Each structure stands twice: as C-alpha cells, then as structure tokens.
A and B are shown apart, each in its own frame.
Chain A
C-alpha cells in the first residue's frame, strides 16, 4: 500500500501538485489521468523518489518513503517512461541481465512479454518501437518488483500493438500506477482512476464510477468518448 498525505510538489518555483492525499492499494492498477501538465508524471516520480515532495508525507507499506534508502527503494519499484531510456550501448539481454533477480529466467521473462531469444541479442536501435517497449518492460520487471510505475509507456505505439501491451500489463500480478491522458486506456486498464486537474484531484475512485463525476473537466473528458 502506498499512501500520500498532504503531498505538494514543485517544479522550480511553481507548484505542480497541491496538498494531495491518495491511497494506492496493493495488487491494484491505478490510472493517473489528466491533461498534459496536470502533474500526473510528477506524482508518479514521487513514488520512486525521482522527485521529492516539497511538503507532506508518503508511506510505502509501513515505512516512510523519505526514510528509505533511495537505491533500495528503486530496486523494489519498476519504472518505464514514455522515452524508455534504454541504454543504446547494451543488447536487450544485457539491459535485463544487469538488473535480473527474478525467479523466472531471462529468456522466460522475455518470452512472457513477447520477445524471442534472437531479439535479446540485438541493440535497441536494431529493434522496432514495440520491441523496445517490451525490452523496457522486461528490464523494469527484471528485479521482480512488487510495484510498477508506467508513464505513458505505450503512447507512441499503433493501436493494435498498444492493445496487446495493455493486455500484457493487465496480466501482471503487481501494484501498478499507470499515467495516461487517454480516457479509453484508463477505463480499460484501471481498477482505480485518479483524475488530476492542475495539480488537484478532480476524481479519485473506482474506474467504473467515473461516469458519475460532476467535475467539469472530467465530464469534458467523458464527452470525448461519445464523439
């Protein structure tokens, strides 16, 4: 369980998140939804301490996040961003092997994400966008972390590939926080949806109840489904 209490965050001198209190349950998929600049990526990066909050506390299980060793913490949290950040000088196999402590073997893990052994011996630039995405996911899962943070990981993929990878994510037995600005993706993936509007919570609840929200921006988002 990850719990934020009165958390604010800043980018330079501007406040990006304002006094947020949210609870992320274990083994559930929470989608952080909102427009660009709403603070969802910042919120995600608070969890693995890539960004530190300016105030408030975050609890990770029964520990205070701020008191945990950042390196240890990062090893227990998988992270994939939109830009992937694969290391261009390492083969896919090495990217996974370097962080591997999973009960599943590397090839087995890769195969479960749709990568064959031949692809493992290629460098990132020799792989397609979808394959790179799978490598990034395999690398994030290599240490068998209980928590997975995904920042718009599939936004650059074609719709069919996107669907396939969404299904892969849904098959994972993890606590997942997933950032997207796409309502369809949020409704498909999320057990819980947290909708951010300019750093405030506009909606926080079960995905299937978001239709009942009376927040204007949430409503505007919902209307895009009908068009």
Chain B
C-alpha cells in the first residue's frame, strides 16, 4: 500500500510538473507577444479563456478520439492539464506587464535601452511577482485537476479516489484525497514564499 501510494504521488507530480512547465514555456512568451500586440493578443486570451470554461472530464472526452494525442494514458492527460494551466500564467504575465507605469518604460527607452534589454532588465523583473502568482494558481489548480486524469488511465492520486468511490471505501478515498490536498497546500505555500522573496518596492510610481 505505502509503496503503491508513493508511486501514485510520484505519477501525480510528474503530470503536474510536466504540464505546468510546458504551459509556462508557452504562456510567458505568448503573454509578451500579446502584450506587445494588444489586438490579436486579446484573441489569444479569449481562446485560453474558452478552454478554461470547458469541464475537464468533457475535455478529456472530446480529445480522446484524436489521433496521436488522444487515447488512454498520461500523454493526453498532460496535454489537457497544460491547456488549463495556460490561462492563469498568460493572464498574470500580461497583467504584470500592463501594470508597469508608462513613465518607467519611457525613461528606459530614453536612456537608450533596446526593447530586449527593457524586457530582461526592467519589464520581467517588475512583472515577476505577478507571473509567480500566475504559476501558483496554475500549479494548485493542476494538482486538483490531475486527479481527474485517472479517469483516462493516466495514473496519479486520482486512481485511489476513483477506486474509493467505486467501492465506497473511505480509507481509499482519503488515501487519494489527503495527499492531493497536502500537495496543493504545499505548492501554494512554496509559491507564496517565492512571491514574498521577489516582491520589491511596494510603492508604485
């Protein structure tokens, strides 16, 4: 039982880490692009917003028949979790960039910094707390949604939950639910701690 649980926690973590990492790699550049091209950028945001509104079990069902991506297993689960993780990271990164006062950007340009330098040295550091907050939301919700992934055979703590539900065994249910909840709380705390470390001047210009 214990070794089985460790195995399931491990599977769960893999689903979450891979999905959130991939979503971060896509959402942050997409957010920078959307921020610089507000017209089409709004469309990108709308699109990820729509994905967010589809219930997860329905999305699994919708994508299951797809070739390459579909089918039972972790691959599809990670893809769906990735789609869900996109929005909070995208939205928070755009928000973080938009909240930078125009005078800061103007002075950076006037000082002869290139757009790339402004992004690296000024914009991303100033948006960092907001971006980390997005990662926190994405990670915590992905830990929760990943329990549903067991329904399509992707493993993880959802396996115990579904088994517990089917057999009406409280112990099994708790064995799945408690670690998942603890993982979510731990991730939340970790990211809050990072946010605290990163938050610089509380004063806005």
Contacts and interface: CB of A to CB of B under 8 A. Distances in A.
Contacts of B103: 81, 83-85
Contacts, number: 72
B112 A71 contact: yes
A75 B112 contact: yes
Interface stretch (A18-26, A86-94, A200-208): A86-94
Given A74-B112, A81-B103, A89 B125 contact: yes
A122 to B, nearest CB: 11
A87 B122 contact: yes
Nearest to A145: B112
Interface in B74-120: 101, 103-114
A143 B113 CA distance: 12
A119 B121 CA distance: 22
A74 B201 CA distance: 27
* Residue with the greatest number of chain B CB neighbours at <10 A, chosen from A48, A85, A86: A85
Interface string A117-154: 00000011100000000001001100100000100000
A78 B116 CA distance: 21
Given A83-B101, A85-B104, A125 B110 contact: no
A139 B125 contact: no
Contact of A125 (B101, B105, B108, B203): B203
A72 interface: yes
B173 interface: no
Nearest to B106: A85
A99 interface: yes
Interface residues of A, number: 27
Contacts of A168: none
A39 to B, nearest CB: 17
A64 to B, nearest CB: 19
A106 to B, nearest CB: 15
Given A50-B106, A83-B103, A88 B112 contact: no
A143 B203 CA distance: 28
B121 to A, nearest CB: 8
A178 interface: no
Given A87-B104, A87-B122, A79 B111 contact: yes
Interface in A56-81: 71-75, 77, 79, 81
B203 A85 contact: no
B111 A50 contact: no
A71 B121 CA distance: 16
B36 to A, nearest CB: 17
B178 interface: no
A124 B109 contact: no
Contacts of B104: 85-88
* Residue with the greatest number of chain A CB neighbours at <10 A, chosen from B103, B106, B109, B110: B110
Contacts of B105: 85
Nearest to B100: A88
A197 to B, nearest CB: 25
12 contacts: A48-B110, A50-B109, A74-B110, A74-B112, A79-B111, A81-B103, A83-B101, A85-B105, A87-B104, A87-B122, A99-B111, A125-B201
Interface of A: 48, 50, 71-75, 77, 79, 81, 83-89, 98-99, 123-125, 136, 139-140, 143, 149
Instruction: Sort A-B residue pairs by CB-CB distance and give the 6 closest, nearest first.
Output: A85-B107, A83-B103, A88-B201, A74-B112, A75-B112, A79-B110
